[in-house]
Amino acid sequence: MPSVFTHAAIPLALWCASDRGRISTPLLAAGVVAAMLPDADVLAFALQIPYADSFGHRGASHSILFAALLAVLAALLRTRLRATAVQAAAFVGISALSHPLLDAFTSGGLGVALWWPWSGERLFAPWRPIRVSPFAGQFFSARGLATIFSELRWVWLPLTAAVIGWRVIQRAPARPRNP
User: How does pLDDT run across 120-174, given as a tens digit for each residue?
Assistant: 999 999 999 999 887 666 666 787 788 899 999 999 999 999 999 999 998 888 7
Hey, how many other C-beta atoms are within 10 angstroms of the C-beta on 174?
Answer: 5
d(CA 44, CA 60): 11
pLDDT of residue 101 exceeding 80, the answer is: yes
Residues contacting 7, CB < 8 A, separation 6+ = 1, 35, 36, 38, 39, 98, 99, 102
d(CA 64, CA 55): 14
Percent of the chain clearing pLDDT 70 (strictly above): 95
**pLDDT number for residue 61:** 98
Q: What digits encode the pLDDT tens for the residues 62-89?
A: 999 999 999 999 999 999 999 999 999 9
pLDDT grade for 175, boundaries at 50, 70 and 90: confident
d(CA 90, CA 115): 19
d(CA 19, CA 46): 42
pLDDT of residue 36 exceeding 80, the answer is: yes
Give the helix ranges, DSSP H, for the chain: 4-7, 9-17, 25-36, 43-46, 64-76, 78-81, 85-104, 142-151, 157-171
pTM assigned to the model: 0.91
**pLDDT number for residue 172:** 84
Percent of the chain clearing pLDDT 90 (strictly above): 78
d(CA 87, CA 75): 8
**pLDDT number for residue 142:** 80
